[in-house]
Structure 1
Amino acid sequence: MSASGNRAVARAGDPATAAQRGPLPPYLPRRPVPDVVRILAPTGDRLWLVTRFALGRRVLADPGFSRAAAVAPAAPAVHPLQPDPASLTSLDPPAHSRLRALVSRAFIPHAIAALEDGIRAEARGLLRRGSPFDLVRDYTMPLAAATICRMLGVPEAERDRFAALADLGHALVPCTPRESATARAELRAHFVALLRMARRDPGEHLLGALVRAHDEDGSLSEAELIALVELLLNAGYETTIGQTGLAVLALLEHPGQWRRLVAGPGLVPGAVEELLRFAPVVPISFTRLARTDTELAGEPVRAGEAVLVSLLHANFDPRAHPRPGALSVDRTTTRHVSFGHGPHICLGAQLARLQLRIALEELVAACPRLALAADPATLRWRPPEAIVRGPTALPVSW
């Protein structure tokens, strides 16, 4: 069946966009759309957008769609920001597999579980301040900073500086584009200094493991080393802040669901999956280029054409999710693509789940009467062109 023939049934665009708070990229459809649709990106390039759950998973896992080809300078792009070609997210196997194996040890289940006590203690300490409270500034940002610093091995004395540079570099606080660019450059220099420290004292943290991989067996180049550290910061800091803010806001705008968690804290782990589905922090996948001529939902996709998946629309596909527009912390079989799928599935997915679960468990326990302390229409948000979504401030009381 051609894409045009799917218009009558492909209605996931309605709940997917209607349920979202805050701005979305302008090229994401706000109306019923086919399984595959052509979009015009802000760059002026035309790309194929996949909006369905099963088809999106196929594209994300299919080696016939290349991530490495999509970061070439002349490749069609959805965003003007040029990705680092040495980054883990910019590579195809086998280069991708080699780099992923180097860092995956830090993300195995027992390594992630070992972080729980420290994250929980940090969360409890932050909540002791009481309300009024900006959930982003006073909770999600310092909680994410403490966690990623602990993983990377950033000394405690350096954490405030590290977090301040990250906040500016990712425009998580008000700043000009020049201030943000300057902070990113300083952050990169900070990484280099931290790597020098890790060479003197590797310790048991991730920076030490990466330095050993670079220095001892040459399995990691200098460019790959820096790109990996930057990627880990982006994935472990910015996205965690945005996802926690989106999750809490979704619950507060569905107070019945918040009360369900307060009455039954054991629901929180399942609620984490539902909130990841309902309010994904990253609405679209990375772009991929078709290696050969192919077909997606009846549409001919030529070799060299760009394809991306709307993770947001896939999460609201009624063929995969009954009543997708309803937030339900009681869902028992939540499937989503918020962490992607296939070889590039988010390396830190389990860490993200752990942080969101602890953040919610501690909020439920300490703040059962949690409520928004501002008109939702006045909330400040990341700009629509930002890769990572989320509120930049979330005043709450309890």
Structure 2
Amino acid sequence: MTDPVRLVTHADVISAAQDAGTFSSRTSRHLHVPNGMDGEEHRAFRAIVDRQMTRAIVDAMQPMLDATATEVVDAMHRGAACDAVIELGEVFAVRAQCRWLGWPEELETQLREWMAENYAAARERDPERNAAVAAEFDEIVTRQIDAHRAARDAGETSDDATDRLLEEQVDGRALTQDELVSILRNWTAGDLGSLARCIGVVVHRLAQRPRWQHRMRTLAAEISDAAAPQRAEFDAILGECLRLDDPFVANKRVTTCPVTMPSGMAIDEGEPVLLDWVAANRDPGVFTDRFDPHENGPHNIVFGIGPHVCPGRDLSYAELRAVIGALLRGTSKIALASDPATRHEPPIGGWARVPIVLS
């Protein structure tokens, strides 16, 4: 198999991400809604996803996210080592998602066990094991779809994301079972691990830098509403933490015609391409070499750019704002434990474990 062309400069990655006609997202034989689609098909399905993650819907979820985060933080040990990824990130990610999707909280243990198996399969890069892990998750999703359908048939409705998705149509028809499973798989399987890794990245950096931890703790105590300048600064610092240690490593594309990149690199038609978000977000020609949310924020592409920009960006910030805010309000100090933090092995980015001590 041909090794993919890796785009590493900020300009090249942005150019490719914004040119969906030349850089196709159809890189897999499996159905990926809407990530693996192009053109009008992508726009039609992306509109469905966007309707489930509007700013109004996300803002309405903030109290639930805040309450969930407080539950998780209150249950963590004080004065003894605990893990910011496992005990904070994973628990919060699974619990918040179950509540958002209208899934039973009894699934928490099963979903966390699945996350561990998914990481192990990704590290091994064993196609058969990865396929088995994917099939297991599809079964979990299918059971939840069937349960929501049965409830609707019995006259019971709820205003959760799964129920709203069942009402959606594309091109005048209801979504197929495979399409529903694919969308929910993308929301859940894709988000659970990535949110936990994002939390690990932010907590690790704040534990290393007491000055920024103090600033974030002050802001967390002052955040009042979406328009508050404290919230904007809080989110900017979250974004800068993720830019410097991007847990979203790369996305695949394939060229539909020959193209020359802004850097001068020439790529032939039909070439597999990787958009290297990590390298692009640390391009020394664009970013300063210091932690600077104000200066670097406008160029930050942690959540992508172009037609395939992450539809869950607002939700991700709301989740991070909730959990990091709860952690800071519920403690006076976050310090790294004596056991060192450990990173995920490629192709996964971010931290696998971040042992911390809370005071």
Question: If the TM-score is normalised by the length of the shorter chain, which range does it land in?
Answer: 0.7 to 0.9
Moved more, 328-337 or 348-357: 328-337
SS at 2:266's partner residue?
A: strand
Q: Deviations over 1:138-187 (max 9, x none)?
A: 21111111121122220234343334334433449999978876554333
Among 224, 235, 257, the residue aligned to 2:212: 257
CA distance in 1, matches of 2:192, 2:242: 16
Among 363, 366, 370, the residue aligned to 2:334: 370
- Give the equivalent residue in structure 1 for 2:198: 243
- Give the equivalent residue in structure 2 for 1:93: 39
Q: Is the 8 A contact 1:294 1:301 kept in 2?
A: yes
Among 360, 370, 385, the residue aligned to 2:324: 360
Which residue identity does 2:343 align to in structure 1?
Answer: W
SS at 2:254's partner residue?
A: strand
- Give the equivalent residue in structure 2 for 1:188: 138
- Give the equivalent residue in structure 2 for 1:140: 89
Which residue identity does 2:271 align to in structure 1?
Answer: E
- Give the equivalent residue in structure 2 for 1:197: 147
2:252 matches 1:287: yes
- Give the equivalent residue in structure 1 for 2:103: 154
CA distance in 1, matches of 2:113, 2:243: 30
Among 11, 14, 23, the residue aligned to 1:57: 14
Q: Deviations over 1:284-330 (max 9, x none)?
A: 2x221221122112222111122222211211123332x2x322356
* Distance verdict in 2 for CA 1:249–1:182, change over 3 Å: same
Q: Is the 8 A contact 1:288 1:307 kept in 2?
A: yes
Q: Is the 8 A contact 2:141 2:184 kept in 1?
A: yes
Q: Is the 8 A contact 1:166 1:183 kept in 2?
A: no
CA distance in 2, matches of 1:365, 1:199: 40
2:344 matches 1:382: yes
CA distance in 2, matches of 1:176, 1:59: 26
Q: Deviations over 1:79-99 (max 9, x none)?
A: xxxxx3343211102111111
Question: Which sections of structure 2, spanning at least 5 residues, go unmatched?
Answer: 153-157, 221-229
More helix by share: 2
CA distance in 2, matches of 1:176, 1:304: 24
Q: Is the 8 A contact 1:168 1:180 kept in 2?
A: no
CA distance in 2, matches of 1:221, 1:173: 28
- Give the equivalent residue in structure 1 for 2:175: 220
Among 43, 51, 58, the residue aligned to 1:105: 51
SS at 2:352's partner residue?
A: coil
* Distance verdict in 2 for CA 1:60–1:175, change over 3 Å: closer
Residue 384 (structure 1) shift: 1.2
Among 41, 60, 67, the residue aligned to 1:121: 67
- Give the equivalent residue in structure 2 for 1:274: 240
SS at 2:356's partner residue?
A: strand
- Give the equivalent residue in structure 2 for 1:22: none
Among 281, 294, 303, the residue aligned to 1:339: 303
Q: Is the 8 A contact 2:23 2:256 kept in 1?
A: yes
CA distance in 2, matches of 1:346, 1:61: 13
Question: Which sections of structure 1, spanning at least 5 residues, go unmatched?
Answer: 1-43, 73-83
Aligned length: 337
- Give the equivalent residue in structure 1 for 2:226: none
